[in-house]
A = this chain, B = another copy of it.
Amino acid sequence: MNFSIDRKYFYDQLSIVARAISPYSPLPALSGICIQVEADHLILMGSDSTISIKTIIEPNEENQLKIESTGSIIIESKYLLEIIRKLECKIVSFELFDDTLIRIEGDHGTFHLNGIEGSEYPSIDFYQPQNEFILSKKQLKEIVRQTGFACADSDSRPVLNGINFNMQGENLYCSATDTYRLARKRITLPQENTFNITISNRSLNEIVKSLNQEEEDIQIFVDQKKAQFIFDGTTFQTRLLDGTFPDVERIIPQHFISTLQIDARELSNAIDRTNFILTDKVHLIKLECTPKIVEIKTRSSEIGDSKEELLSSIYGGEDLTLTCNGSYMLDALKALGSSRVELSFTGVLKPIKISDPEDDSTLMIVVPVRSID
């Protein structure tokens, strides 16, 4: 194996593949990047056995790839990235000795790294699942940003650590919940389809971080085992989360006893100001709503208390006082990202729906807690 390639281009490709690699892999081969050099292209692979990423590089003007001989090797990802990032040269060349020692050479620096024989890399099946749909990079980023925060983060119900993609006809519903709150985003797609899968939030975050700024689409292929994302010449696949995702439609309230419209920033800032007033390490806020005045209050016997009137609020319906987790409310407001926000109430201890009054495609639910007083 002997090839040379544009250093910067190669570094960018290695960085993407390295996203799949866990430094704590029990299998030594999986802590490395597998480089396979074929006669007319080069394959990079990284995997932690849940997420796998593959990039195929074919010679072109930009990458200046020149292949002299074929072969394969697995190189410790962190060393390889470190060298390629720091070498000061346009073209970097690689030459393999004895199947396990690779020479990496820039303009005047030479490295020899001990690797593992390429044949020891676990065989990863990159078959393409049947169900296909397409999202823009922007859409996928929005889904992850607007729902991922509501995922659980525990081993007790793994399926809640992911975002559920439920496609019904032409509507794709993306939902996440840790049972105390819910985030849901609806996207309408041009082609009808039916599937219901849950992808781990961690995998989705790694994909989103791998997306460059270009305005391209992502091809997504799913079945009951895995989801595969294809973009920028990279194939990114992840195992699905096992388990049945809760039927969130049933949780979303339809009838309300009152609504509060308010400037989202005013509400966020008022909540954020009190985020140190904790009761048993939880930031509880009390909303006291009447059509005349809406106030937000906190109290902790140890620290102190606070009170603030929400001046931009318009409240309609019966008087209501309820308490909820301030951090959950803040997360929801931030993810919603609208300038005005509507809080729809169903009762003192019943779910609060939080939405943009001008856009019903995204909604958040926060469940109140028992009053602190």
B272 with A113: CB separation less than 8 A? no
Min CB–CB distance A96 → chain B (angstroms): 13
Contacts of A275 in B (CB 8 A): 82
Is A88 among interface residues, defined by CB-CB distance under 8 A?
Answer: yes
Instruction: Tell me if A308 and B273 are in contact (CB < 8 A).
Output: no
Q: Does A276 contact B (CB under 8 A)?
A: yes
Chain A residues with CB under 8 Å of chain B are 76, 78-79, 82-83, 86-88, 101, 108-114, 269-270, 272-276, 302-309, 311
User: Is A110 within 8 A of B302, CB to CB?
Assistant: no
A79 to chain B, nearest CB (A): 5
Q: Tell whether, in the assembled complex, residue A308 and residue B269 are in contact, meaning their CB atoms are under 8 Å apart.
A: no
The answer to whether B269 touches A86, judged by C-beta atoms less than 8 angstroms apart, is yes
**Residue in B112, B276, B302, B304 whose CB lies within 8 Å of A304:** B112
Overall SS of chain A's interface: mixed
Chain B residues near A101 (CB-CB < 8 A): 304
B110 x A304 contact (CB < 8 A) = no
**Closest-CB distance, A353 to chain B (whole angstroms):** 26
Nearest B residue to A83, CB-CB: B273
Q: A273-B86, A273-B87 are in contact. Are A109 and B307 (CB under 8 A)?
A: yes
Nearest neighbor of A80 in chain B, beta-carbon distance: B276
A107 nearest CB across to chain B (Å): 10
Q: Are B79 and A303 in contact (CB under 8 A)?
A: yes
Chain B residue contacts of A76, Cβ below 8 A: 303
Report A45 CB to chain B, min CB distance, Å.
21
Please give 8 more A-B residue pairs, beta carbons under 8 A apart, in addition to A86-B273, A88-B269, A111-B304.
A76-B303, A79-B276, A82-B276, A86-B272, A87-B273, A109-B273, A112-B306, A113-B304
In the complex the two chains form, is B306's CB within 8 Å of A110's CB?
A: yes
